[in-house]
Amino acid sequence: MKTKHQQIGMALLTIIVIAACTTNQAWGISYKAIELHPSGFDSSGAFGISGTQQVGWGHPVGENYHALLWNGSAESCIDLHPSGFTESYARGTNGTQQVGYAAVGYGNHALLWSGSAESCIDLHPSVFDYSRAFGTNGTQQVGEGYIVATSSFHALLWNGSAESYTELHPSGFDSSGASGISGTQQVGWGHGSATGYNTHALLWNGSAESYIDLNPSGFTHSYARGINGTQQVGEAAAAGYGSHALLWNGSAESCIDLHPSGFTESYARGTNGTQQVGYGYGSVTGYNMHALLWNGSAESYIDLNQFLPTGFSIAAAEGIDSYGNIVGFAQQGDSDLRAILWKPIPEPATIFLLGLGAVIVRRRKK
């Protein structure tokens, strides 16, 4: 039987664990902005994050754009640019996989990497003229293929090879694209007779027939950009006003408008299942684009520009992981873009270790 002190210790430890997992969701937390911009590049941007990895692109001085992989610092940068392509971009990461696309000739090929340029797999299906990949769940990849003859995009789902692709393109649509994936679900957009020839945000469950139209009432067109767990994020607009960042939970009716007061336009790009990130601009930002973090409502937003080094006035957040780490890019004056990693302070893992130490000390003293 546990003693009273053991029971108290276990209860306290449970509280600490919960706090460690949720502290980065509590408003008032600070962030440390880390420049991921590597030496030898004149511009860079980060677009995906998972675990300890971040992906994006950089422009080496005197060369074309290269897909990049980081592990939390500028010095950790790995150049993913594969041989045979003129330029490349990484857009998503999960586990050991990174996805994106690279230019060959006048078009792009969707690509899959596993941590190095040499690991590159060309996902481009031969029936399409061009293709791009934007997201991965660690096993599957999503993106789009383009057909020149019909001037149409088709949303695609891969299982690690060009031949494994599945078309998510639904009947009644003339174009579609997939932007994100989590578990068995994918998000993106579609346009055609089924949507009154407006672009609508879409949610799939692995097949073209499974699609759900997320376009909310009051908006004429919308896009879904990111997904995690039961949450989907993106933006929508109607005639006469700018885009609003949106949050969904699986249906058009579940839509929450994240657009903050004082903003002219806002966009949501990623979610970790609890928090949402993106960017916006308006009178409150001096009409400069600012990186934003939400906790499920318009009123809950944090302006991430406040944590940037002095001189940065423009920024966007593109992705967030389960620990609250955020990636994006920022611009200082008229200079080129810089890839940025925002890390919550204190980090959840640090809180947990400090709390665990306190429990151990208390129990030793008794």
Q: How far is CA 327 from CA 56, 139, 286, in A?
A: 9, 22, 23
Residue 361 pLDDT? 41
Spatial distance between the Cα atoms of 329 and 341, rounded to a whole number of angstroms: 8
Closest of 23, 11, 2 to residue 359, by C-alpha: 11
Q: Is 280 helix (H, G, I), strand (E, B) or coil?
A: strand
Instruction: Grade residue 335 by pLDDT with cuts at 50, 70 and 90.
Output: confident
Residue 126 in tokens: 């031969």
CA dihedral over 283, 285, 290, 293, signed as positive or negative: negative
pLDDT at residue 5 tops 80: no
Residue 329 pLDDT? 98
Tally the residues of the chain. Answer: 366
Digit-coded pLDDT (tens) for 38-47: 999 999 999 9
Paired with 251 in beta bridges are none
Average model confidence (pLDDT) across the chain? 90
Instruction: Grade residue 23 by pLDDT with cuts at 50, 70 and 90.
Output: very low
Paired with 34 in beta bridges are 341
Q: How far is CA 284 from CA 30, 138, 260, 309, in A?
A: 20, 39, 10, 19
The letter for the amino acid at 125 is P
Closest of 78, 34, 75, 84 to residue 56, by C-alpha: 78
Q: Is 6 helix (H, G, I), strand (E, B) or coil?
A: helix
Instruction: Grade residue 347 by pLDDT with cuts at 50, 70 and 90.
Output: low
Q: What is the mean pLDDT of residues 2-27?
A: 44
Digit-coded pLDDT (tens) for 280-332: 999 999 999 999 999 999 999 999 999 999 999 999 999 999 999 999 999 98
The model's pTM? 0.88
Q: At what angle do helices 348-365 and 4-22 cross, to 10 degrees?
A: 170
Instruction: Grade residue 241 by pLDDT with cuts at 50, 70 and 90.
Output: confident
pLDDT at residue 205 tops 70: yes
Spatial distance between the Cα atoms of 205 and 191, rounded to a whole number of angstroms: 18
Q: What is the mean pLDDT of residues 96-118?
A: 96
Q: What is the mean pLDDT of residues 220-229?
A: 97
Peptide bond preceding 346: is omega within 30 degrees of 0, i.e. cis?
yes
Where do we find the tokens 């004149």?
A: 42
Residue 363 pLDDT? 44
pLDDT at residue 358 tops 50: no
Share of the chain above pLDDT 90, in %: 83
Instruction: Grade residue 16 by pLDDT with cuts at 50, 70 and 90.
Output: very low
pLDDT at residue 85 tops 80: yes
pLDDT at residue 9 tops 60: no
Share of the chain above pLDDT 70, in %: 87
299: left (phi over 0), alpha (psi -120 to 50) or beta: alpha
Spatial distance between the Cα atoms of 203 and 196, rounded to a whole number of angstroms: 18
pLDDT at residue 61 tops 80: yes
Lowest-confidence region among 7-16, 53-62, 214-223, 256-265: 7-16
Q: Is the distance from CB of 35 to CB of 74 less than 8 angstroms?
A: yes
